[in-house]
């Protein structure tokens, strides 16, 4: 029986800090990698194009996302359409991976991998992230990771395509699913045999930048309460997770150029498009609304030479949100939050 095609669908926008690591790992097992690039200006496109001409493994396809605005539905629809065009009705597995996500190197020796290859059309596979922590020293064996402790943290990354449309589950403007699986989830499998390595936390500045970005975009597009947004995008809880040492089997060995995969990750880069996106759109909105958003940290303000627009009461609310971030389920905190949502 012939194995299904592996088609990876990846949106990019200024991902030069990590795209080499993604390409070096993903080209080892994918048949096709489709990038929908949203007008990158940091060299991402050039890196991808270089791999397009030199890769001896996966076929790499670069398509243009010319919409300057954030719209997950549009970009995912673009990727799925292109993937199905390439497959031309053939048996295929659709992978929705971001540029800072790679499969663990021991994935392909597991029973789960064989189960995926032999699965039925319409099957949906969910995995857990292994969140790589920043380096704590100079030795590479000092990388650690944490896992989500609950089954609610399984995320659907893979769909054995049934070639049916629409499924409708990726039609939201943000936080859409990356794969078009059936909403009723009749064939949903949770995989524990291997992990998706998440490289985002190797660069803490970008993690904080993404938190700001999602807070701003969600407010701009969906008009959610500043209190709800702060709770939704709080990143403090991650710090409580138990960490584990990285097993050697999870990480890829040397590349053809003699580098370890994680050597390709720029852990120091600071300025990124997510902050620039916010800065460019600040003038579109009333400052009286913007100052309520919990995005005005000192590094962001200093990097872009911005004045803190908040009043003393705004700073007080934001201070409260940070101090109670790890206790947001507490009854008293929930009551205070409820009051703040009405008056703030």
On whether both 126 and 197 belong to a single domain, the answer is yes
Spatial distance between the Cα atoms of 9 and 80, rounded to a whole number of angstroms? 7
Query: Last residue of some domain: 202, 226, 260?
Result: 202
Which residues, in sequence order, are bridge partners of residue 147? 130
Residue 145 near residue 246, CB atoms below 8 Å? yes
On whether both 307 and 158 belong to a single domain, the answer is no
Whole-number pLDDT of residue 2: 77
Instruction: Report yes or no on whether pTM surpasses 0.75.
Output: yes
Whole-number pLDDT of residue 257: 59
Q: 330 in a domain, yes or no?
A: yes
On whether both 278 and 335 belong to a single domain, the answer is yes
Whole-number pLDDT of residue 96: 95
Residue 103 near residue 93, CB atoms below 8 Å? no
On whether both 113 and 214 belong to a single domain, the answer is no
On whether both 151 and 278 belong to a single domain, the answer is no
On whether both 47 and 81 belong to a single domain, the answer is yes
Residue 291 near residue 314, CB atoms below 8 Å? yes
On whether both 39 and 128 belong to a single domain, the answer is yes
Spatial distance between the Cα atoms of 258 and 191, rounded to a whole number of angstroms? 32
Q: 188 in a domain, yes or no?
A: yes
Q: 265 in a domain, yes or no?
A: no
Handedness of CA 161, 164, 169, 170 (dihedral sign): positive
The alpha helices in 33-134, defined as continuous H runs, are: 44-54, 72-87, 111-117
Spatial distance between the Cα atoms of 237 and 259, rounded to a whole number of angstroms? 33
- Domain range for 27 is 5-202
Specify the DSSP class assigned to residue 325: G
Number of structural domains (the chain) is 2
On whether both 137 and 15 belong to a single domain, the answer is yes
Q: 174 in a domain, yes or no?
A: yes
Q: 143 in a domain, yes or no?
A: yes
Which strand (E) or helix (H) includes residue 32? Answer: strand 32-37
On whether both 138 and 126 belong to a single domain, the answer is yes
Which residues, in sequence order, are bridge partners of residue 59? 32
On whether both 138 and 212 belong to a single domain, the answer is no
Q: 242 in a domain, yes or no?
A: no
Spatial distance between the Cα atoms of 194 and 105, rounded to a whole number of angstroms? 9
On whether both 221 and 308 belong to a single domain, the answer is yes
Whole-number pLDDT of residue 151: 43
Specify the DSSP class assigned to residue 56: S
Q: 264 in a domain, yes or no?
A: no
Whole-number pLDDT of residue 255: 60
On whether both 161 and 27 belong to a single domain, the answer is yes
DSSP string, 194-261: S-EEE-GGGSHHHHHHHHHHHHHHHHHHH---HHHHHHHT--GGGGGSPEEEPPGGGS----TTS--G
Whole-number pLDDT of residue 236: 57
The domain that contains 69 carries what CATH number?
3.90.550.10
Tell me which residue of 215, 221, 236 sits closest to 292, measured CA to CA.
215
Query: Last residue of some domain: 182, 202, 222?
Result: 202
Q: pLDDT tens for the chain, 344 residues: list them.
A: 678 999 999 999 999 999 999 999 999 999 999 999 999 999 999 999 999 988 777 899 999 999 988 888 888 989 999 999 999 989 999 999 999 999 988 899 999 999 999 999 999 999 988 888 765 554 544 667 766 554 457 889 999 999 887 666 766 778 888 898 877 767 889 998 888 999 988 888 888 999 999 999 999 999 999 999 999 888 655 555 667 777 777 777 666 555 677 888 888 877 788 999 999 999 899 888 899 999 999 989 998 999 999 999 999 999 999 999 888 889 999 999 999 999 99
In 243-327, which ranges are E strands? 243-245
Q: 262 in a domain, yes or no?
A: no
Residue 9 near residue 34, CB atoms below 8 Å? yes
């Amino acid at each position: 029986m012939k194995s299904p095609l592996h088609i990876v669908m990846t949106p990019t926008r200024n991902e030069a800090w990590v795209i080499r690591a993604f390409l070096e790992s993903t080209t080892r097992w994918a048949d096709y990698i489709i990038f929908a690039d949203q007008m990158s200006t940091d060299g991402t496109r050039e890196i991808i194009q270089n791999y397009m001409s030199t890769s001896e493994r996966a076929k790499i396809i670069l398509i243009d996302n010319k919409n300057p605005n954030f719209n997950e539905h549009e970009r995912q629809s673009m990727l799925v359409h292109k993937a199905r065009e390439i497959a031309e009705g053939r048996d295929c597995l659709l992978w929705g991976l971001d540029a800072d996500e790679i499969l663990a190197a021991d994935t392909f020796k597991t029973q789960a991998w064989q189960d995926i290859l032999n699965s039925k059309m319409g099957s949906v596979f969910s995995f857990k992230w292994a969140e790589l922590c920043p380096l704590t020293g100079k030795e590479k064996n000092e990388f650690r990771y944490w896992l989500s402790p609950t089954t609610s943290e399984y995320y659907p990354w893979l769909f054995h395509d049934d070639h049916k449309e629409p499924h409708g589950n990726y039609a939201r403007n943000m936080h859409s699913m990356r794969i078009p699986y059936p909403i009723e989830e009749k064939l949903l499998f949770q995989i524990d045999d291997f992990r998706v390595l998440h490289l985002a936390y190797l660069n803490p500045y970008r993690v904080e930048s993404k938190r700001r970005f999602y807070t701003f975009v969600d407010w701009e597009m969906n008009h959610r309460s500043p209190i709800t947004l702060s709770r939704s995008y709080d990143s403090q809880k991650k710090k409580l997770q138990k960490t584990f040492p990285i097993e050697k089997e999870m990480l890829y060995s040397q590349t053809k150029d003699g580098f370890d995969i994680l050597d390709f990750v720029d852990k120091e880069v600071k300025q990124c498009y997510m902050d620039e996106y916010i800065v460019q759109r600040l003038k579109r909105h009333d400052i009286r609304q913007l100052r309520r958003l919990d995005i005005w940290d000192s590094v962001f303000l200093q990097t872009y030479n911005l004045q803190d627009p908040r009043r003393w009461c705004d700073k007080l609310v934001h201070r409260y949100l940070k101090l109670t971030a790890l206790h947001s389920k507490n009854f008293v905190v929930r009551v205070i939050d409820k009051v703040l949502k009405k008056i703030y």
